Structure 1
Amino acid sequence: MKKLLGLILVACSCNSFAQTSEFVQTIPEFYLPKDVNFSLGGIVLFTPKYAGSDERKAKVYPWLDAQWKNGAFFSSINGLGYNFSKDPTIQYGLRLGVEPARDESSSSKLQGLGDVDTTIEPGAFLNYNINQNYSLLSSIRYGSGTNHNGLQTSLGARVTTAISDQHRLTATIRANWANASYMQSYFGVNDQQSFNSGYLPYMPSSGLTDVKLSTSWHWTIDANWSLTTGASVSRYSSEVTKSPFVFQKTPVTVFSAASYRF
């Protein structure tokens, strides 16, 4: 139990600035080579300073991934959770993910809006692998935002193709929906925030936040080392772009990650 609590604390510290993925993407237990599978490494991200920012930042984060054949998993990308399915064509389960903090000190354009704290989000996921190349993905997460009652739901699809034994290309498209509490926390301006920041009040309603297309190239260098490089581009919905501090409608993120498998 102490080890598990330690892992959760590591996840929170690693993800106070980098969030877990919308989707859980684990290797089906049938294909895992060991009962316990570990990978360690690092990831470099070039990303907007906050959702809607036209300023960018470059950061280096630790990469940790652990997956057990019994269905448990823990990683910087997937969070902490359990896949109840033993069928390689379908994955479903529960997890704890992380929604990162938004500090007003990170950009002059957030001054007066206050901070939104890092939140651990309980949620559920369901993935269906049509075959080894095509998958349908979904998730639901709750607990983010100022009052910790933000709700998000994501639906998507992933296409993977192997161009050789060592190289694989992946493309993912997803749409994200959020309730009014989430939208207000990350894109809204209440009366007090308006007074402090000078922005006009704005109260967005629930709805689509964005649609995102991601691509990546995975290189299996040898039995232990691998390198993944990719990029994503999002298109915010009109409900988001009406926010007075959203200055970039189509944010782009670029990343590269190296990992060592034990």
Structure 2
Amino acid sequence: MKKILAMIALALTSAAWAQTSEFVNTIPEAYLQKDTNVTLGAAALSVPKYTGSDERRLAAYPMFDVQWKSGAFFSATNGLGYNFSKKPALQYGLRLSLEGARDESRSSKLNGLGDVNTAVEPGAFANLSLSENYALVSSVRYGSGTDHNGLQFSVGGRFSTALSENHRISATVRANWANSAYLQSYFGVNAQQSAASGYNQFTPSSGVTDIKLSASWRWALDSNWSIVTGASASRLQGDASRSPFVFQKNPVTVFSVTTYRF
């Protein structure tokens, strides 16, 4: 119970600016060693100040992950949810995820646009392993944006292979679609924002927001400690790329995570 309370405290600590992964990546029940499996750690990142920014910032936050053999999970990357499938090759279920905040104070280029607060997004996910190395992944999330009516749908493919007993590499390619409410919140400029910021009014339509390629390398130092280092590169698409405050259409994130498994 103490470990679970610690997970909740960590979640509240980082919720103001952390963001859940688009896809759920959990260990199938058959491979879990315990009824409750807990991992703690820390992450360091170099990221754009906001999506479309040509300025960067450094960030660090606690990492946590807990999985139960029942199918429940709660983590900084997967969110809070439940996997209903008992088949190792198939995962599907419901979850709550986080869409990170975009604070106006983060960059002078956001002046006049106002804040978009962190949002809790109810949604669903489905993953299908085609083989030991390849999987199809997908998710749908609702509730982000200024009025909490943003909808996102992500699909992709994941590759993972062991280089040795202690080293594994992974790569994911994905496309993200969003409705007009999401795009208006994160890329649009209404009349009031235009007057305050100096940007022209911009009303984006629903569509594909970006294509992203991610790659990572996991180094298991021993049976408990591991380090994951990686990067992701996106290409903004459609109306998202045409926003008047998008100055970099190819945002890149670099990260390193150190974890300890109990």
Same fold (TM over 0.5): yes
Alignment match, 1:192:
192
Alignment match, 2:246:
246
Distance (whole Å) between structure 1 residues aligned to residue 261 and residue 5 of structure 2? 23
CA contact (8 A) 2:67 2:73 kept: yes
Distance (whole Å) between structure 1 residues aligned to residue 254 and residue 50 of structure 2? 15
* AA aligned opposite 1:206: S
Structure 1 pair 139–20 and aligned structure 2 pair: CA distance change class (3 A)? same
- Give % identity: 63
Alignment match, 1:47:
47
Per-residue CA deviation, residues 192-220 of structure 1 (Å, 9 max, x unaligned), is 00000000000000000000000000011
CA contact (8 A) 1:11 1:79 kept: no
CA contact (8 A) 1:12 1:98 kept: no
Distance (whole Å) between structure 2 residues aligned to residue 246 and residue 239 of structure 1? 10
Return 5+ residue gaps in structure 2 as ranges. none
Distance (whole Å) between structure 2 residues aligned to residue 15 and residue 94 of structure 1? 20
With normalisation by structure 1, the TM-score equals 0.97
1:130 to partner: Cα distance: 1.1
More off after superposition, 1-10 vs 140-149: 1-10
With normalisation by structure 2, the TM-score equals 0.97
* AA aligned opposite 1:112: G
Distance (whole Å) between structure 1 residues aligned to residue 100 and residue 93 of structure 2? 22
Distance (whole Å) between structure 2 residues aligned to residue 9 and residue 166 of structure 1? 31
CA contact (8 A) 2:212 2:234 kept: yes
1:38 aligns with 2:13: no
Alignment match, 1:127:
127
- Counterparts of residues 93-172 of structure 1 (less than 5 Å): 93-172=93-172
Distance (whole Å) between structure 2 residues aligned to residue 2 and residue 117 of structure 1? 30
Distance (whole Å) between structure 2 residues aligned to residue 35 and residue 5 of structure 1? 17
1:238 to partner: Cα distance: 2.9
Per-residue CA deviation, residues 127-168 of structure 1 (Å, 9 max, x unaligned), is 001122100000000000000000000000000011101000
SS at match of 2:24: coil
SS at match of 1:185: helix
| Count of matched residue pairs | 262
Per-residue CA deviation, residues 64-108 of structure 1 (Å, 9 max, x unaligned), is 000000000000000000000000010000000000111101100
SS at match of 2:21: coil
1:12 to partner: Cα distance: 4.1
* AA aligned opposite 2:220: T
CA contact (8 A) 1:8 1:80 kept: no
1:7 to partner: Cα distance: 4.7
CA contact (8 A) 1:96 1:123 kept: yes
Return 5+ residue gaps in structure 1 as ranges. none
Alignment match, 1:25:
25
Distance (whole Å) between structure 2 residues aligned to residue 256 and residue 226 of structure 1? 11
Structure 1 pair 62–5 and aligned structure 2 pair: CA distance change class (3 A)? closer
Alignment match, 1:204:
204
Detail structure 1 runs of 4+ shifted over 6 Å in the superposition: 1-6
Distance (whole Å) between structure 2 residues aligned to residue 71 and residue 48 of structure 1? 34
Distance (whole Å) between structure 2 residues aligned to residue 222 and residue 167 of structure 1? 11
SS at match of 1:173: strand
CA contact (8 A) 2:204 2:239 kept: yes
1:5 to partner: Cα distance: 8.2
